[in-house]
Chains A and B, each alone.
Chain A
Amino acid sequence: MTIPVVKGLDEQGQRLDSMDFEKLVFQAAKKAPELLLETYGQHNIGIRLEREGGLTLRLKGPAGQRLGCMGMPGTEIICEGAASDDVGYLNIGAEITVRGNATNGVCNAMANGKVYIAGSIGARGLTMTKWNPDYQRPELWILGSTGDSFAEFNCGGIAVVCNVEAKNPQNVLGYRPCVGMVGGTIYFRGPIDDSYSKTNAKLQALDDDQWQWLRERLPGYLEKIERPELLDELSVREEWQALMAVSPQERALMFSGPMPMAEYRNTFWNNAFGGGDPLRDLAPGLDRSTIDAIVTGEMRRYKPWWANSEKAAPCTYYCPIHIPTVDRLRLIREGRIDEAYELVLGYTPLPGSVCGAICPNLCMENCSRGGVDQPIEMQVLGRSVSRHQSLKIADPLGKKVAIIGGGPGGMNVAWQLALEGVEAHIYERDDKLGGKLAQVVPWERLSQAIWDEEIRRFVETPNINVHLNTDMDKESFTKLHDEFDYVVIAVGTHKPRKLQFPGSNKVIPALDFLKKAKSDNTTKVGKEVVVIGAGNVGCDVACEAYRLGAEKVTLVDIQKPLAFGFEKEAAEKHGATFLWPIVTKEVTDEGLITEDGDLIPAQTVIISIGDVPALPFLPGSVETVTVGGASWIKTDEAHLTSDAKVMAIGDVERPGLATNALGAGKTAAEYILANFKNIPWQPFSKEVIPLQTLTITHYVPESAGSSENEQANRCLSCAACRDCHLCETICPTGAISRREITQKEVAGVPVEADYEYVSDDEKCIACGFCADTCPCGIWTMNVY
């Protein structure tokens, strides 16, 4: 049987166009299983041809583009020469043999079938291939080499590239193969330029299954292209390699760059700087290694510090005597009552009379407990010390000091010196100690029982010598100056300030009035009394006037009255009225006539506008300063005057509270003692602890109570650790622990705790919880 021939040229030798030629082939294929096609560049040869039992097309003459396009299973196409573009385009099963080279686009989108090329191919071979698992994988066999961009987006095709008589034997897969390849395999033999897409394909040696697959099929391929003699040459397993698709899972694990950063640093970066850190010359030894966000030890930005007693509680700070009430209450909580009292008596001889009675208690005014409920009751605390007796007296120092004036200031100088073994001589003009406290403060404000007890304790104290009824003049002062190591002037203010107006001679000075009122030999007052000057002394005057029989007391002032606290309350309770602004024009027997001409009826008019120092004894060596028409002694921080042996304390420096005088007395005594002992004088210098550093919410409001123990329990212990262990408990890393230490003492009295809390640097992360939790404000976070 002859094989039908379909001619590509018509009788006139004119080329049939592809449409007509394809129709002829399509008809002929229905009749015969094998056709000879004398093609003349017609395209799409083999498209839509399918014949039961198979169909063979043999091409003689130039083939057009897309040979074997959409080829069906069972169709075999043999092209005797070279082929043009897109051989096997969308082939789904045909077997296509090209006995020469093929150009670009071989096997584009082929899904099944086989393409055998006996030469090399152009660019973009085996691109977009598919593989449906119900069918065989598409295969492309190339004897020579491929052009560029081979196997782009290859999904299932298998290529075999043999590098025999290749167009490009130096680079058999061309430039940049396998871009976007997701499946299939490329077996190749010979060199490549390593430009394949590394994120899509991986290079590997053939495994046994792959080698067997290749070995089994090589003879058939060589048979098809009629080169069986090459079998031995192509059968060297070591010469073959495979490019396999990288899976998305593998790709997700790959760094898309070609070298890990650590390798780059070690291999190149470090060596670029002469083998070392590039900052080693600027900052020798600089450690730049990585640390965590949460660190311990040296890398923390803050460090906790247990600043026990480094600051002062407000009560101590604002008290002019700086009595350490927090320590005293701690001792009471610890059951060490005697030590607590000794501690207080180390600061003042008059705790009952002053702290417990007449002091306006600046300690309470500033007490932190006020933030919880109400301040610590200082009057309870003051009074409880009034009867304590046992005092430790230091050995004699062989020094003696003269104190002129036996008021609270002078008494405290003598007291402090006496306790430290210095002979103290008080020279008092009056017939009793205590100055104005004894002379003018009404007994209703200062319990006589407590006062007498405290004066007795004072007078009985060794080293204290009291000389009453002793006036001082220049001569006697000089004598004291010569005989004593120091002379302390504490005479206060005992010259009443007066105003000049008609009838001012009818006016009684408040000082004289109060002294007389408190003496055994009291005066009478009229039914109506006017007090000029409505301060606290004016209020005392009013109270005493009522006590002595007055029925109506009027306090007048040129400004808003300065009276405050219990003096004012007491006067108001008696019914005193306050009038202001009133300027006195005249005082007559009828009473006080104001500048406006009004009469305030009064049989007695008392003036209470303050007192000034009387200093007739003062030598020229002691400088004074004139303020408000009176002379006051000029002193420094230690209360030293311009005469190095003379000190001055209390109201002679400037008017103040009894507590100010007591504080000045203590400071002056400390200065003197420091000089006697030849040690540096250290004034009180602690800062007050800020309220916000305390954590007061640990406490719940309760009633203040009236006992010393209740006050001790209510104390917030500002700035002094109360050993509550809260820091130890709250610390999230267990860094804080408590340990015992040697207790610090002053004059035999323990002033600081016998333990401390410490934070372990290796555990602490500097969260600051200790500082945020500490009720007493002890833990501080310092920049580190």
Chain B
Amino acid sequence: MVSARSVSVTPSSLTYSDHTWIIQHREDRCTLCGQCTAVCPRSAIYLAHRRQRIPKLDVFAHKRETEYRNFTGIRQKTEMQNSCIGCAMCEMVCPNEAISPLPNANENRSLFYHNGKGEPYKRGGRRNATGPTLLDRIMFDRISMLTDPALDAGRHEFNITTSLGRVLPPEEFLEKSKNGGWIPPTREIFPFVIGSMSFGALSPNMWLGLLQGVAYCNEVLGIPVVMCTGEGGCPPWVLKSPYLKYIILQIASGYFGWDEIIRAIPEMKCDPAAIEIKYGQGAKPGDGGLLMWYKVSKLIARLRGVPEGVDLPSPPVHQTLYSIEESVMKMIQTLSTAFSHKVPVYPKISASTSAKSVLNNLVRNPYAAGLMIDGIDGGTGAAYDVSMNATGHPVASNIRECYLDLAAQGKQNEIPLFAAGGIGKNGNVAQNGMALIMLGASGVHIGKYIMQAAAGCLGNEKNRCNVCNVGICPKGITSQNPKLYRRLDPDLVSQRVVDVFMSIRTEVKKIMAPLGRSQSLPVGMSDALGINDKDAAERLQIKYVC
């Protein structure tokens, strides 16, 4: 009997159980409506016609014949380029619960074929490391009951803001106020910032949905949330809108979209919240940024001033910067000057053992408004797997070291540190953020949490979906194809942003109230922290509790 397969099989052919995700299809429930194959972002599934041989053997009657049965079902393709990513859009559209992808519990061999054409595996998402993070394990163990004023998160008034910008020491401030002199700009912002995700990395509907939610938080709810543009510029109409004040403009080594920003400066109705200079990203430190060609649509090309459909790398280093001193001085001064020294300008670096060197340079630079440190658990739109999984530094001890370094110099209240990287990775966004704040951060940036909570991003740390790099995001969050991003309703995104920030605000109160704090964020209040891990406690200089 000749095989009925149309596909030739070789010793390195892959089969279903070699793949990361296995499609389970129940023929008894399938209505053959075609919705699963229509929606699949990878064309990973197809309608299979199978033939079964049914021998009819009757030994007593000396009769033998072969009958055949044909049947149909949805099957997954086993070619790497069509490998199922587990997004489960098929399951979502199935009217009859007939199909779903299941994670392969076995070792999957497809990993060995992730480097087609000699190109190592690239993806979006976050480090594939599951389980509770260190931040998840930190407890807020200093509960004031009858000791300090006992506070009720539900009824007491809280002031949940943090300072973004350089704060002068009192004597210097008084001297400058009295005698005239430049007082560095500061902003009072909500300590949870929507981290840098560019117009380009995100779809237009996602990016504008986020901004609409941020504007609502500020203008209707009075929660002073700000968001960072990431490196992809900002639509000119947004630059000229009153919402610019809720936006941190990012500048990075690719300088995408900065011509439009500079062009819009004379027409700006307000100043931006701040300028972030990106030197590094926690997810892929030392690797630069990359917007792959799939996502450089006509619109993105127009905003960024680049050809359509080309790869857009932001190199790991700025071409005109050769040393820390130069980086700090030249960039911060230029950008501070561009906005009349009225906008805080701070650098963003990858968490690193060298972070303290950067910080010490910033301390000496009067224009530096803060330092943003992005840890290894951060997310990205596109990076090599090896960069995402194995390169970088966790944010907690890095922030802690920097903070304690500032405290040793008595400068901890002068230059704010911001932390990012995996905050809310397991959903505990307020807990993670407040742990970092009590370790010494003035605030945190959240990116992937927002994508998951506000727009239903499907990615996880078991490599589900994580195809942000190639523009096929099935939710329309990171795609530039209108056929995909129009699936995303910006109103719903903004509504969810509002829901998220209202609930973060409540949770922050629930954390602050037992500490007896209501009017100032407990930055560096590490006496309130405990962890049931002696080594971590020692490293972070917090209590070991058990």
Q: Which residues of A contact B (CB under 8 A)?
A: 149, 152, 176, 179-180, 255-259, 261-262, 264-265, 268-269, 272-274, 276, 278-283, 286-295, 299-302, 370-374, 691-692, 694-698, 700-701, 730-733, 765-769, 772-773, 781
B487 x A371 contact (CB < 8 A): no
Taking the complex as formed, is B155 at the interface, i.e. its CB lies under 8 A from any CB of chain A? yes
A257 x B483 contact (CB < 8 A): no
Bound complex: CA A289 to CA B32 (Å) = 29
B486 x A291 contact (CB < 8 A): yes
B486 x A290 contact (CB < 8 A): yes
Chain A residues lying within 8 Å of B303, measured Cβ to Cβ, are 282
User: Which segment, of B108-116, B211-219, B353-361, B382-390, faces chain A?
Assistant: B211-219
Q: Output the nearest chain A residue to B475 by Cβ-Cβ distance.
A: A293
Bound complex: CA A45 to CA B515 (Å) = 36
Q: Output the nearest chain A residue to B3 by Cβ-Cβ distance.
A: A371
Taking the complex as formed, is B241 at the interface, i.e. its CB lies under 8 A from any CB of chain A? yes
Chain A residues lying within 8 Å of B219, measured Cβ to Cβ, are 264, 268
Complex A-B: 30 CB contacts under 8 Å: A152-B155, A255-B495, A256-B502, A264-B219, A272-B243, A274-B237, A278-B208, A278-B235, A279-B208, A279-B235, A282-B235, A282-B302, A287-B482, A288-B486, A288-B490, A299-B483, A300-B38, A300-B483, A301-B483, A696-B4, A700-B51, A730-B32, A732-B32, A766-B38, A767-B37, A768-B46, A769-B32, A769-B47, A772-B47, A772-B48
A179 x B155 contact (CB < 8 A): yes
Chain A residues lying within 8 Å of B487, measured Cβ to Cβ, are 290-293
The residue from B38, B221, B483, B490 contacting A765, defined by CB atoms under 8 A apart: B38
Bound complex: CA A282 to CA B327 (Å) = 32
B465 to chain A, nearest CB (A): 15
Q: Which residues of B contact A (CB under 8 A)?
A: 1-7, 31-39, 43, 46-51, 66, 68, 70, 89, 92-93, 154-155, 157, 204-205, 208, 212, 215-216, 219-221, 235-238, 240-243, 298-299, 302-303, 474, 481-491, 494-495, 498, 502
Q: Output the nearest chain A residue to B205 by Cβ-Cβ distance.
A: A288
A179 x B154 contact (CB < 8 A): yes
Chain B residues lying within 8 Å of A768, measured Cβ to Cβ, are 34, 37-38, 43, 46-47
B156 to chain A, nearest CB (A): 9
Chain A residues lying within 8 Å of B235, measured Cβ to Cβ, are 278-279, 281-282
B494 x A299 contact (CB < 8 A): no
Residue picked from A265, A278, A372, A765, most chain B C-beta under 10 Å: A278
Chain A residues lying within 8 Å of B502, measured Cβ to Cβ, are 256-257
A656 to chain B, nearest CB (A): 28
The residue from A152, A293, A700 contacting B89, defined by CB atoms under 8 A apart: A293
Q: Output the nearest chain B residue to A259 by Cβ-Cβ distance.
A: B220
The residue from A269, A371, A767 contacting B38, defined by CB atoms under 8 A apart: A767
Q: Output the nearest chain B residue to A276 by Cβ-Cβ distance.
A: B237
A265-B494, A370-B2, A730-B47 given; name 13 further pairs at CB < 8 Å: A176-B157, A272-B215, A273-B241, A283-B299, A283-B302, A290-B487, A291-B486, A293-B39, A294-B39, A301-B484, A371-B5, A732-B32, A769-B37
Q: Output the nearest chain B residue to A766 by Cβ-Cβ distance.
A: B38
Chain B residues lying within 8 Å of A288, measured Cβ to Cβ, are 204-205, 482, 485-486, 490
Q: Given A290-B486, A373-B2, check contact A279 B237 (CB 8 Å).
A: yes
Chain B residues lying within 8 Å of A773, measured Cβ to Cβ, are 47, 49
A184 to chain B, nearest CB (A): 17
Bound complex: CA A290 to CA B208 (Å) = 14
A257 x B498 contact (CB < 8 A): yes
A257 x B220 contact (CB < 8 A): yes
Chain A residues lying within 8 Å of B37, measured Cβ to Cβ, are 767-769, 772
A764 to chain B, nearest CB (A): 9
Bound complex: CA A772 to CA B487 (Å) = 26
- The 7 closest A-B CB pairs, nearest first, are A767-B34, A772-B47, A278-B237, A732-B34, A697-B51, A273-B237, A767-B38
Chain B residues lying within 8 Å of A281, measured Cβ to Cβ, are 235-237
Bound complex: CA A286 to CA B238 (Å) = 16
B241 x A272 contact (CB < 8 A): yes
Chain A residues lying within 8 Å of B39, measured Cβ to Cβ, are 293-294
B215 x A268 contact (CB < 8 A): yes
Q: Output the nearest chain B residue to A701 by Cβ-Cβ distance.
A: B1
A372 x B215 contact (CB < 8 A): no
Bound complex: CA A768 to CA B487 (Å) = 21
Q: Output the nearest chain B residue to A690 by Cβ-Cβ distance.
A: B6
Bound complex: CA A109 to CA B307 (Å) = 71
Bound complex: CA A694 to CA B31 (Å) = 23
B220 x A695 contact (CB < 8 A): no
Chain B residues lying within 8 Å of A265, measured Cβ to Cβ, are 212, 491, 494
Bound complex: CA A732 to CA B235 (Å) = 42
Chain A residues lying within 8 Å of B155, measured Cβ to Cβ, are 149, 152, 176, 179-180
A438 to chain B, nearest CB (A): 38
Q: Given A279-B299, A768-B46, check contact A294 B204 (CB 8 Å).
A: no
Q: Given A279-B299, A300-B483, check contact A290 B488 (CB 8 Å).
A: yes
B483 x A295 contact (CB < 8 A): yes
A269 x B34 contact (CB < 8 A): no
A760 to chain B, nearest CB (A): 14
Chain B residues lying within 8 Å of A292, measured Cβ to Cβ, are 487
Q: Given A290-B488, A371-B2, check contact A261 B208 (CB 8 Å).
A: no
Chain A residues lying within 8 Å of B299, measured Cβ to Cβ, are 279, 282-283, 286
Chain B residues lying within 8 Å of A180, measured Cβ to Cβ, are 154-155
Bound complex: CA A694 to CA B498 (Å) = 52
B498 x A765 contact (CB < 8 A): no
Q: Given A274-B237, A697-B50, check contact A258 B93 (CB 8 Å).
A: no
Chain B residues lying within 8 Å of A767, measured Cβ to Cβ, are 33-38, 47
Bound complex: CA A733 to CA B34 (Å) = 9
Chain B residues lying within 8 Å of A766, measured Cβ to Cβ, are 38
Residue picked from A273, A287, A767, most chain B C-beta under 10 Å: A767
Chain A residues lying within 8 Å of B50, measured Cβ to Cβ, are 697
Q: Given A261-B494, A700-B68, A766-B38, check contact A289 B212 (CB 8 Å).
A: no
The residue from B92, B157, B220, B237 contacting A258, defined by CB atoms under 8 A apart: B220
Q: Output the nearest chain B residue to A301 by Cβ-Cβ distance.
A: B483
Q: Output the nearest chain B residue to A697 by Cβ-Cβ distance.
A: B51
Bound complex: CA A77 to CA B486 (Å) = 70
A278 x B238 contact (CB < 8 A): yes
Chain B residues lying within 8 Å of A732, measured Cβ to Cβ, are 31-34
Chain B residues lying within 8 Å of A269, measured Cβ to Cβ, are 212, 215
B222 to chain A, nearest CB (A): 10
The residue from B47, B93, B220 contacting A293, defined by CB atoms under 8 A apart: B93
B358 to chain A, nearest CB (A): 35
Residue picked from A282, A299, A698, A781, most chain B C-beta under 10 Å: A282
Chain A residues lying within 8 Å of B241, measured Cβ to Cβ, are 272-273, 278
Bound complex: CA A259 to CA B498 (Å) = 11
Bound complex: CA A261 to CA B298 (Å) = 30
Q: Output the nearest chain A residue to B297 by Cβ-Cβ distance.
A: A283
Q: Output the nearest chain A residue to B474 by Cβ-Cβ distance.
A: A293
A371 x B6 contact (CB < 8 A): yes
B236 to chain A, nearest CB (A): 6
Chain B residues lying within 8 Å of A700, measured Cβ to Cβ, are 51, 68
Chain B residues lying within 8 Å of A730, measured Cβ to Cβ, are 32, 47
Chain B residues lying within 8 Å of A255, measured Cβ to Cβ, are 495
Chain B residues lying within 8 Å of A290, measured Cβ to Cβ, are 486-489
Q: Given A262-B491, A278-B208, A698-B70, check contact A272 B46 (CB 8 Å).
A: no
B458 to chain A, nearest CB (A): 13
Bound complex: CA A292 to CA B489 (Å) = 10
Chain B residues lying within 8 Å of A769, measured Cβ to Cβ, are 32, 34, 37, 47
Bound complex: CA A767 to CA B205 (Å) = 26
Chain A residues lying within 8 Å of B47, measured Cβ to Cβ, are 730, 767-769, 772-773
B49 x A698 contact (CB < 8 A): yes
